Amino acid sequence: MSEETPICSAKGCRSEAVWVLAWNNPKIHTPERRKTWLACEEHREHLSQFLGVRGFLKDVVLLSEWESSEAS
Ligand SMILES: [Zn+2]
């Protein structure tokens, strides 16, 4: 598995990820903790909905923006 090319987290998808979905499960994570899923353009909505209906979704940002905010 290459570190260079982030791949979409959707099951069975091998597309390059464009989006980062930041989420938190309040039952198992402290409030400031962020788990992340990666999503391609096609699966962003599907994965967002999956997390959204559970009340877990915190943020959806472009991968490029996420990486630059992580670095700073
Ligand atoms: Zn995908």
Residue 64: the pLDDT is: 94
Token pair recorded at residue 59: 């943020």
* 9 alpha carbon – ligand 1 mean position (Å): 7
pLDDT tens digits in sequence order for the chain, 72 residues long: 446 789 999 999 999 999 999 999 999 999 999 999 999 999 999 999 999 999 999 999 999 999 998 776
* 20 alpha carbon – ligand 1 mean position (Å): 12
Residue 1: the pLDDT is: 46
* 60 alpha carbon – ligand 1 mean position (Å): 15
* 58 alpha carbon – ligand 1 mean position (Å): 19
Residue 44: the pLDDT is: 98
pTM (2 d.p.): 0.87
